[in-house]
Structure 1
Amino acid sequence: MTFPPNSPEQIPFMARDAIKECPFADESAITDLRYRETPYWHSLLKCRHLGIHRPDGRTCNWTARILTKDKRYIQKCLGPALNLGRGQVTFALAVERAFAWFAQSEVQRISNEPKPTGRTREISICPIGDVYTVGHALRDYTDWTRLARSPGGHYNNLILINYHLVPSFAHLPLEDFDATDVLALAKQVIETPPRFGFMPYSSREEVQELSVDVLRRRKRTFNSLLSILRMACRHAWDSSRIQSERPWRCLHRIPVAHSPRTIFLTREECRRLLDACTPALSKLVLAALYTGCRVGELGSLRVEDVGQQGFGIRIGAFKRGAARFVFLPDEGMAFFLSCCKGKQDRDRVFSSDMGKVWKRQHSGLFRRAVSEAGLPKAFVFHGLRHTYASDLVRAGVPLEIVAKQLGHANTITVSNTYGHLSEQFREEQVRTRFSPLSQTHRALAVEKRADLEQLWHSFQRDDWREYAQIESKGSHPKQAFARGSQEVIQLFDRI
């Protein structure tokens, strides 16, 4: 795109990359867009979007929108994007008109503050000086993880480092890092509220009492930070950047009780979600519900992987997991074969509404579908994987089979994550398979069968996810394998 001569005043420099990456900058790309009632949007800045509205063959307009301070979207038509008898506005002119509208005083007064869009790509410091600091170690470590870790794992590390470690610890000489700094980090994690997405940074606050769930999450955050620091320190030690082992030997994870998954869908909720999805997203959601696969695994699936080696699909190696075969029910096999109809072996089975490979563009569409379906706001696409696993566990499928379907190396993760969902199956097995012990009480049970059935029905709830659940009173596990610092453990236990 060639920017207009007056663009430096109207178009912020921080939006230039987003403008160049617009997927419908060319007329041919606009022509290929399918008709739909809602516009196709592209983020120029946070809360500032440019879009194409093409509901039918007679209308195709450039559209801009802003997000207001009270979380409402306001749109403005910028002119025709295709020449359908009423002239045509070029992409460059549409961008100029959009930013001219964004700059109007009445628009700025009600709109949210704009910020650059895009993912964090590196830690937010540039270490200098001859003294090798924690910041130097984190920079060297993240340069390695960029190549060695999955993109998602590397990105999560960057977010944690920038939010928790850089402000208070990056300037410390790594040789001087010791247990007192670990204790300071634990205190900081306890007092620092989490930050999600583009939320503003929260100030630290004195926390006198935290709920069990909040304390558990902050313990897990603390352990994640210790793992990052330990790997960075070991990397520095192996590279002869430091001469002492103390910086990484003082980093010990603390024990924390595992938090089971409870956000998953019933079959009625699944149907509501599917009704709220776009056509392409609906297929992706169905595929996840039939297989329990991750979105990246489904996005990489090709026609040659379906129904070739067995009654199911082959999933290639993903993240650090090995390739696996996922078996399907009959209706799932019929669904996948219908998605492959008319395609070549090397074609992707699933593509977005714009014909692109599914990567990260599903998240916004999925959030909107979740909202329209009236589901919990915290439910994300990965929750479909939990829904798949929870349905199998609840139906009594052995955990070994569930683990193999999900690609886990053993049943520990499945047992910790979904084991609580098999309560009704456990109840049924105990009631029907217990060997008679006392003829007197067996006869009494037969005599009072109606009363016992009435009692059983009184315990049944509409939401089976809460059946026979007992609230945990602590975040410390019954059996601890981690051997953390006693000072840090006592600090968390005092909350």
Structure 2
Amino acid sequence: MARMVRDAVLQNRTNRLKLADRCYHWRTISKGLSIGYRRGGGTGTWYVRTIKNGKRTLRALGKADDFQEADGAEILNFGQAQNAARDMAHELATRRTLYTVNDALNHYLEWFKAERRSYDKTKGTVDRLIRPKLGKYQLAELTPDIIRRWRDGLVRPSDKPDRLRARRATANRVLTVLKAALNHAWRNDKVESDGAWRRVGPYQRVDAPKIRYLSVDESQRLVNACEPDFRLLVQAALYCGARYGELIAASVKDYHPDAKILMLTHTKNGKPRAVPLTVEGDAFFSRVAAGKEPGSRLFTRENGEHWKASDQVRRMAAACERAGLEKVRFHDLRHSYGSALAMAGVPLQVIAHVLGHSDTRITERHYAHLSPSFVADAVRGSLPDLGAHKGDNVIPIKRE
């Protein structure tokens, strides 16, 4: 048994009652382990505090024997509080030792299901790409080298630079999911340190978005080449910049003709957002909603069935082939909407709001693909003439 630490103030109830109210009074009993006392006007409470790798944890142990005799359970004297602190520290260390990556993933997914929208996709990523290689590891066993080898194993070799870049970008996204789960465990005191995964960074220079947005002519050709029911979804995306999943979940009641807005409720981040509509866009949604019940889906297939998660893939490919366009993803319609706003001079804060980005950094990263001619024209048309070459008698010599 560990030796009891003595403290003239904390072990004496009379002296404890003279301490300032609502303040913690600490006494270290071993390295990284302290016992504390705090009183809020009545009976005081004993606390235990642990410090390891710069991280602190604080827990209540029980009531102090300020006015009642200690019973060793709910009411503790100073010596009993020390024993309880050591027992709790030992239990916490044991629990941390047995806690595995699978445990961390399970608890993270429970939280994710309650707080986020894309649960099925995230669970699929966890089950296919994280659990098989890392699930059985205890968090205390993880090292940067283990995580780095797992990350590198996600990237299949390729002699095509674009394909290799895309695979590394995918590995980065999976690494982000793993780190989110492990950080969730660390914040909930399931592991002492986050150093093992904090030291493993993503692949660099692989996430730059490709330059792909449609011109007005390309948009019209694509719309005309679509099947009638799918054409409505393509037009809607061009009018409001919504994601495919947001559009197929939209109800008739989400369109508000008086305010000329479309309220998207099934968004990626779970936060509803209102998208203002142009005159043309408002007329389009008015035609789509006409004669439908408020609770019904705004967009359905020709046979009345709901659109499914991947129904757009083949239809987009077929429409592009008929329209004579290079491959266009449905998500590129969203990029086209955002790019059109950016090239019209709409502030990035506004674009970020209507697209549902959390801040303008995401908007800047995605819309750095504005056409070079637009950027050049904007620069040339905005800078003043400084007169630096007026009256200059220098004549360039032509090379023969």
TM range (shorter): 0.5 to 0.7
Alignment partner for residue 384 of structure 1, among 325, 330, 333?
333
The 1-side partners of 2:335 and 2:350 are apart by 15
- TM-score normalized with structure 2 length: 0.63
The 2-side partners of 1:172 and 1:393 are apart by 47
- TM-score normalized with structure 1 length: 0.52
- Residue 211 of structure 2 contacts residue 369 of structure 2 at CA under 8 Å; is this kept in 1? no
Aligned to 2:317: 367
Alignment partner for residue 170 of structure 1, among 116, 132, 135?
135
Alignment partner for residue 365 of structure 2, among 403, 411, 416?
416
Unaligned runs of 5+ in 2: 1-96, 394-400
Aligned to 1:184: 149
Alignment partner for residue 394 of structure 1, among 297, 322, 343?
343
- Residue 395 of structure 1 contacts residue 422 of structure 1 at CA under 8 Å; is this kept in 2? no
Opposite residue 320 of structure 2, the aligned amino acid is V
The 1-side partners of 2:253 and 2:392 are apart by 60
Aligned to 1:322: 271
Opposite residue 108 of structure 2, the aligned amino acid is Y
Instruction: Give the C-alpha shift of residue 323 in structure 1.
Output: 2.4
The 2-side partners of 1:347 and 1:443 are apart by 72
Q: SS of the counterpart of 1:441? A: coil
Q: SS of the counterpart of 1:172? A: coil
Q: SS of the counterpart of 1:293? A: coil
Pair 1:420–1:442, CA change in 2 (3 A):
farther
The 2-side partners of 1:142 and 1:149 are apart by 10
Pair 1:364–1:260, CA change in 2 (3 A):
closer
Q: Structure 1 residue 159 and structure 2 residue 125: aligned?
A: yes
Alignment partner for residue 441 of structure 1, among 372, 381, 390?
390
After superposition, the C-alpha distances for 1:71-125 in whole angstroms (9 at most, x for unaligned) are xxxxxxxxxxxxxxxxxxxxxxxxxxxxxxxxxxxxxxxxxxxxxxxxxxxxxxx
Opposite residue 141 of structure 1, the aligned amino acid is Y
After superposition, the C-alpha distances for 1:393-443 in whole angstroms (9 at most, x for unaligned) are 223333233222212243221211113305433322332333232285399
The 2-side partners of 1:406 and 1:240 are apart by 36
Opposite residue 373 of structure 1, the aligned amino acid is A
Opposite residue 128 of structure 2, the aligned amino acid is N
Pair 1:251–1:431, CA change in 2 (3 A):
closer
The 2-side partners of 1:234 and 1:440 are apart by 59
The 1-side partners of 2:257 and 2:235 are apart by 20
The 1-side partners of 2:214 and 2:148 are apart by 40
After superposition, the C-alpha distances for 1:13-35 in whole angstroms (9 at most, x for unaligned) are xxxxxxxxxxxxxxxxxxxxxxx
- Residue 142 of structure 1 contacts residue 154 of structure 1 at CA under 8 Å; is this kept in 2? no
- Residue 229 of structure 2 contacts residue 300 of structure 2 at CA under 8 Å; is this kept in 1? yes
Q: SS of the counterpart of 1:289? A: helix
The 2-side partners of 1:222 and 1:346 are apart by 40
Alignment partner for residue 117 of structure 2, among 106, 130, 150?
150
Whose relative contact order is higher, 1 or 2, with alpha carbons under 8 Å and at least 6 apart?
Answer: 1
Opposite residue 104 of structure 2, the aligned amino acid is A
Instruction: Give the C-alpha shift of residue 169 in structure 1.
Output: 2.9
Pair 1:410–1:149, CA change in 2 (3 A):
closer
**CA root-mean-square deviation:** 3.4
Aligned to 2:259: 310
Unaligned runs of 5+ in 1: 1-129, 194-204, 445-495
Pair 1:155–1:440, CA change in 2 (3 A):
closer
Q: SS of the counterpart of 2:390? A: helix
Q: SS of the counterpart of 2:301? A: coil
Q: SS of the counterpart of 2:263? A: strand
Q: Percent identity?
A: 32
Instruction: Give the C-alpha shift of residue 253 in structure 1.
Output: 4.9
The 1-side partners of 2:298 and 2:142 are apart by 51
Q: SS of the counterpart of 1:229? A: helix
The 1-side partners of 2:223 and 2:352 are apart by 26
